């Protein structure tokens, strides 16, 4: 009897765990999408092109700010993390300004009822320095859902982060596969 109760308890625990994992592993993303970058890397352009190829509507604006959200009909905001010195130089900004813009934007999007996705889709090449780290920390911290490509999570960083912070994670093979994940 005691044995059966223990087995039942284990089964229930496993079912609960699996249910939790299932919801964490496959959150439903819904368009239309708004895409921006926190660090002026090309991630947002890549995401839009991937979405375009999959026939998903996505609008891209590397300088999207909280006030500009008004009037947008998007259901989901995606902010790509990882920085580009060339990109930030070209846009006349820096990582601190980018974080300030994006955290305000993500807050405003959530208030407007949008789902906020923090994405890292350019692989380990955008996880090299302290600027990348700051951008990732800020974006993932403010996101409802995490979206990454396998290369970005090759050391399991995002999986661990999602687990520790109780955030669902969507993991796709590479940037080209993102479009289908957004369908």
Partner 1 sequence: MTIRTAKAVILLIAGGCAAVAGLLFKEHREYREAVVVSPYITEVKKLSDYSDSVKDSVNDANVYIFDSGVPGGTAVLIGGTHPEEPVANMSAQIFTENVKPLQGKVIVINRINRSASLGTRMGEAYPRFYHVKTPWGTKKWRYGDRVASPLDSWPDPEVYIHYPSGQNLAYMDIRNANRTWPGRPDGLLAERTCFAAMELIRKEKADVVMDFHEAELEYAVENTIVVHEKGQPVAAMASMMLTSQSFDVPIGMEFSPKALHGLSHREIGDHSHAVSYLAEVAEPMLDRIRGITDEELLMSGKDRFVMKAGEHKLLYAPIDENGWPAHKRTARHVTTMMTILQVHNMLTPDKAIILDGIPSYGDLMDNGMGQYFADPDASPAERVFFD
The least distance separating partner 1 from the CB of residue 36, rounded to whole angstroms, comes to 14
What's the token pair of residue 181? 């994940």
Nearer to partner 1, 24 or 49 (CB): 49
Question: What is the CB neighbour count within 10 angstroms for residue 72?
Answer: 16
**Cβ density class 134-144: b for 16+ within 10 Å, e for less:** bbbebbbebbb
Residues from 76 through 135 that contact partner 1 (CB under 8 A):
84-87, 89-90, 92, 122-126, 128-129
DSSP labels, 104-143: HHHHHHHHTT-EEEEEE-SGGGGSSSHHHHHHHHHHHHH-
Q: Is 54 an interacting residue with respect to partner 1 (CB under 8 A)?
A: no
Q: Which is nearer to partner 1, 44 or 74 (CB)?
A: 44
For binding to partner 1 (CB under 8 A), which residues are involved? 40, 42, 45-46, 48-50, 53, 84-87, 89-90, 92, 122-126, 128-129, 151, 173-177
């Amino acid at each position: 009897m005691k044995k059966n109760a223990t087995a039942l308890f284990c089964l229930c625990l496993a079912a609960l765990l699996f249910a939790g994992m299932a919801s964490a592993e496959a959150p439903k993303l819904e368009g239309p999408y708004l895409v921006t970058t926190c660090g002026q890397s090309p991630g947002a352009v890549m995401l839009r092109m991937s979405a375009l190829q999959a026939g998903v509507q996505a609008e891209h604006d590397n300088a999207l700010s909280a006030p500009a959200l008004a009037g947008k009909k998007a259901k989901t905001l995606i902010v790509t993390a990882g920085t580009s010195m060339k990109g930030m130089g070209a846009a006349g900004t820096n990582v601190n300004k980018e974080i300030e813009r994006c955290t305000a934007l993500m807050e405003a999007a959530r208030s407007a009822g949008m789902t906020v996705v923090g994405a890292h889709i350019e692989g380990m090449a955008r996880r090299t320095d302290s600027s990348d780290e700051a951008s990732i920390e800020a974006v993932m911290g403010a996101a409802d859902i995490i979206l990454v490509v396998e290369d970005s999570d090759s050391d399991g960083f995002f999986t661990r982060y999602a687990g520790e912070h109780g955030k669902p994670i969507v993991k796709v093979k590479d940037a080209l596969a993102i479009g289908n994940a957004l369908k």
